[in-house]
Structure formats: C-alpha cells, structure tokens
C-alpha cells in the first residue's frame, strides 16, 4: 500500500538521477554551499551498461572533483589500438596542456557510487532507492525576485517545475520533494525529462550499443582496442565500432556500437553484430563461450546535444538526458560530468542573486563549448553512414599513422587550445566543409537572448 506525504521544505536544487551527470552537478553545488538533494532510483553500488572507458577528458573532471586518488583500483591505460581493414595501429593518448595522456577503465558498478558518495561528503543529500515518479507542475505564483520581467528570458517549452513526487523503493512511501530549481539527469531514456516536455531531434545522431564481460588472459593490457570495420552477418561493413577494453581485474569489457542515424542501419540486429564481432576478434583475447561472464546488455546513446530544450523556467537538462554524448566516439561519461558542472555554475549564479534569468548562461555555455564541435561530429556521422565513404576514410586512415593520430585528437575532443597543429587545422577544414554542406547552419541554434 503506497502512502503519500509532503513537507513544506523547499530545497535549493533537486537533481533527478545520481549517475555521472547528476552526481557531478550535486558535488559542485554542494561544494558551493547550496542545499541540494539528489534522488536516485537504484542503490549504489549498482550495475550500469557501459564500455567502462574513461578518456583523459573524463579523468580531468574526476581529478577536478578531487577524485583521481579514488581510482587506484581502476585500470590505467595509455591509448588505443585501432584495427581496420587488415591493419593495426597503436595510438597513445596525445600530450595536451590540460588533459593527461592516460585514461582508466573502471566498472560503473564501482565508479558511480564513488562520485555520488563524494557529492554526499561535500554536503549533498543523496536519496538512494528513490524514484522520481513525476514532476510537480503547478503555476508558479512567486515572482522571480531578481527580475522585473515576469518570466525567464530563456525561450522554453519546459514549464515551471516545483519538484517531484518521489517513491521510496523500500517502504513504498511517496513524498513530494520541492525545490527552487530542478536538474534533469535521468539518463538516455529520460522519462522525467519527457514528462517536462523534452524531445529528441531525430535528425541528430543516435547510437545503440551492447556490451558484456569475458575473462581473458589479456585483461591487463595497457591499450584499449577499437575495431573500425565491424560487419553484419552478411559481411557488410556497418557504421560503428567494436571494442575490447581491458579491465585489469581478470576481465575485458567487449561491445559493439552502431550509429542508427541513417534509416538503412535501423534494421541491423545488434546481438548478431556482437556475435559476429566476438567470433571474429583476435583469438589471443580468448573470447570463448566458456569465458563469457553473462548475456550482453545494451542501451541508447543520444548524441550531439540532440535533446532539447536544455533549460526551462527553473529547470536544466544535463548528460544523456540532454543527448550530450560525443557523436565522434560515443563517449558520454565526461560530457555528463562536464554538463553537470556547467549546470552547477549557472545554478550558482541563479541562487546567488541572478535569479532564473541566470539559467540562460547554461544554454550559452553549451553553445560555446560544444556546438561547432558537435556539428562537425554530426557531419562526420553522416559521412561514415555511407559504406563507401566509410571504407575510403577508415581505409585511408589506417594507411597513415600520422593521419590516425590527428583523427584520434579530433574524435576524442583533445585538440589543443594553445597550438595550431595538424589536428586543429584538420578540424577547421572539417568545420568549413560541414558549413559548406549547410549542416552546420541547420544544427546551430539561435543563441539564447
């Protein structure tokens, strides 16, 4: 029997979802002294389907939160080995003035609890086993104290959200949690976001991925492996990649990711793709049925900030809930941390006296930080969705270590701000080309006024 209760308490910020985005946002807000409450429907440690790969970008965010020492049990790796069209290339992470030249693999079972716990230690209230069932949508009678205008300046279809109805998974009790601001961080399916009115732009890239674990004698390798010419059951190259990520704990994380942007790839069966990849993978990994740790599980990867609006009257949308995954490589953990941090910055301004109008800085920061990069990413995805173009690009790349090194910099978003090197020049060229194709213009949103 479900019981309902409510209190008069109004928190500064309610965050729905305690994954990388929600926990990072909570950490930064709590560190700034705000009263923040996170509701997470699962209990940590909990499993989460992922490739478990942290790039130097993600490591930087963890280090900024003071968490790199907590990764001592994680597996540190030095770069990527690319396989494609019969060739192999070892690509170490490049030197960079901001990001380190190493990454980690760590299960989300271990990682997500570490960050949520850190947010709690910084002062956030993290309510585990607490599912946000629905937003509390009610007319906001209170004027925004910072503004003479009645409404937030950000154009929005997300109405004022006073909080959420939250169910405790153990007791079944449903209570209302109220807050001045709400952050949507509930991941790629984002039911809470959809209930508030977010939607995905179907013209932007979307990925599907599957993964499982195998025990392997090569679990401790210092490079992760990426296979760029995965094939469907009929032997056709598909736009995506297969990966084998050593976990350093006796296991490797094995998976396939497929871009489902173009209609022709929508029918591809990812389970068959995974089986084909595993059968074809180098024997030395010993990806045998006996070594398989369990059935593969999958998920969606909404990319290129494809879910909008990013903000509403008093709401911000972050991480996968906002479709923040990098279209070039399917990386989403660092972008969840980063967008969580940008949201915390805007909320800090809003709570510190800027009022709801300050939330407009979030959309502006997203535009400035990602829009041109993701627009080029979308052009890249369109190009490789064409099998002939894909063969030409990957085939040419795999003949030149120099080219692949530069491409890795671009694809992992590790271009240098201080030097105009080949990768940076190449990216400018790609940007100009995508603008010419008029893709860039279609992607760029008008800046928030």
Ligand X SMILES: Cc1cc2nc3c(=O)[nH]c(=O)nc-3n(C[C@H](O)[C@H](O)[C@H](O)COP(=O)(O)OP(=O)(O)OC[C@H]3O[C@@H](n4cnc5c(N)ncnc54)[C@H](O)[C@@H]3O)c2cc1C
* Three-state DSSP state, 395: helix
CB of 198 or CB of 334, closer to ligand X: 334
| Contact call for residue 52 and ligand X (CB under 6 A) | yes
Q: Let me know: does 266 contact 260? Beta carbons within 8 Å.
A: yes
| Single residue of 255, 309, 312, 397 touching ligand X by CB under 6 A | 255
Q: Angle at CA 198, nearest 5°, toward 194 and 203?
A: 115
| Contact call for residue 53 and ligand X (CB under 6 A) | yes
* Residue of 124, 143, 122, 130 whose CA lies nearest to 44: 130
* Residue of 213, 363, 218, 207 whose CA lies nearest to 294: 213
* Residue of 381, 262, 265 whose CA lies nearest to 329: 381
Range in contact with ligand X (rule: CB under 6 A) among 186-194, 263-271, 355-363, 412-420: 186-194
CB of 229 or CB of 331, closer to ligand X: 331
Rounded to 5 degrees, what are φ and ψ at 108? -70, -25
The tokens describing 134, both together, are: 């629905």
| Single residue of 13, 14, 15, 16 touching ligand X by CB under 6 A | 16
CB of 158 or CB of 336, closer to ligand X: 336
How far apart CA 393 and CA 386 sit, in angstroms, is 11
| Contact call for residue 319 and ligand X (CB under 6 A) | yes
For ligand X, the binding residues in 371-430 under the rule CB under 6 A are: none
| Contact call for residue 79 and ligand X (CB under 6 A) | no
Range in contact with ligand X (rule: CB under 6 A) among 3-11, 52-60, 405-413, 422-430: 52-60
**Closest separation between CB of residue 277 and ligand X, Å?**
13
How far apart CA 8 and CA 396 sit, in angstroms, is 63
| Single residue of 51, 205, 242, 355 touching ligand X by CB under 6 A | 51
For ligand X, the binding residues in 288-317 under the rule CB under 6 A are: 298-299, 301
| Single residue of 12, 36, 99, 131 touching ligand X by CB under 6 A | 131
Q: Let me know: does 154 contact 448? Beta carbons within 8 Å.
A: yes
For ligand X, the binding residues in 329-348 under the rule CB under 6 A are: 331-334, 336
CB of 244 or CB of 439, closer to ligand X: 244
How far are the Cα atoms of 5, 194, 241, 393 from residue 260, in angstroms, in the given order? Answer: 43, 21, 12, 19
Total site size for ligand X, rule CB under 6 A: 41
Q: Let me know: does 176 contact 165? Beta carbons within 8 Å.
A: yes
Binding site for ligand X (CB under 6 A): 16-22, 39-42, 48-53, 58, 131-132, 185-187, 191-192, 209-211, 255, 298-299, 301, 319-321, 325, 331-334, 336
């Amino acid at each position: 029997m479900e019981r309902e209760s409510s209190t008069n308490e109004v928190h500064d910020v309610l965050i729905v979802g305690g994954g990388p985005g929600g926990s990072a946002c909570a950490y930064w807000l709590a560190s700034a002294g705000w009263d923040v409450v996170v509701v997470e429907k699962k209990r940590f440690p909990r499993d989460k389907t992922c490739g478990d790969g942290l790039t130097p970008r993600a490591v930087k965010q963890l280090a900024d939160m003071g968490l790199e020492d907590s990764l001592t049990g994680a597996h540190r790796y030095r770069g990527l080995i690319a396989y494609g069209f019969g060739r192999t290339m070892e690509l170490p992470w490049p030197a960079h003035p901001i990001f380190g030249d190493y990454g980690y693999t760590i299960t989300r079972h271990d990682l997500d609890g570490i960050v949520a716990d850190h947010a709690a230690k910084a002062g956030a209230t993290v309510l585990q086993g607490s599912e946000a069932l629905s937003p509390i949508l009610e007319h906001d009678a209170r004027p925004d104290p910072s503004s003479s205008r009645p409404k937030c300046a950000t154009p929005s279809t997300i109405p004022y959200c006073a909080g959420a109805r939250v169910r405790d998974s153990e007791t079944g009790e449903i209570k209302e949690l109220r807050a001045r601001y709400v952050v949507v961080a509930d991941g790629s399916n984002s039911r809470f976001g959809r209930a508030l009115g977010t939607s995905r732009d179907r013209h932007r890239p979307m990925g599907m991925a599957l993964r499982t674990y195998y025990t392997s004698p090569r679990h401790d390798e210092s490079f992760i492996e990426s296979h760029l010419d995965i094939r469907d059951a009929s032997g056709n190259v598909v736009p995506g990649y297969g990966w084998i990520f050593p976990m350093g704990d006796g296991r490797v994380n094995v998976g396939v990711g497929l871009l489902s942007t173009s209609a022709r790839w929508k029918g591809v069966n990812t389970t068959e793709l995974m089986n084909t990849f595993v059968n074809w993978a180098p024997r030395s990994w010993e990806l045998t049925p006996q070594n398989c740790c369990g059935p593969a599980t999958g998920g969606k990867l909404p990319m290129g900030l494809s879910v909008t609006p990013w903000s509403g009257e008093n709401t911000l949308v972050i991480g996968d809930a906002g479709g923040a995954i990098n279209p070039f490589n399917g990386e989403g953990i660092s972008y969840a941390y980063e967008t969580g941090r940008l949201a915390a910055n805007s909320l800090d301004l809003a709570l510190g006296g800027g009022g709801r109008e300050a939330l407009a800085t979030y959309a502006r920061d997203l535009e400035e930080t990602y829009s041109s990069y993701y627009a080029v990413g979308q052009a890249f995805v369109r190009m490789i969705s064409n099998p002939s173009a894909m063969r030409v690009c990957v085939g040419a790349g795999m003949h030149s270590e120099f080219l692949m090194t530069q491409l890795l910099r671009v694809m992992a978003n590790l271009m240098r701000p201080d030097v105009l090197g080949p990768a940076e020049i190449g990216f400018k060229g790609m940007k100009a080309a995508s603008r010419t194709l008029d893709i860039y213009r279609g992607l760029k949103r008008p800046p928030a006024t």
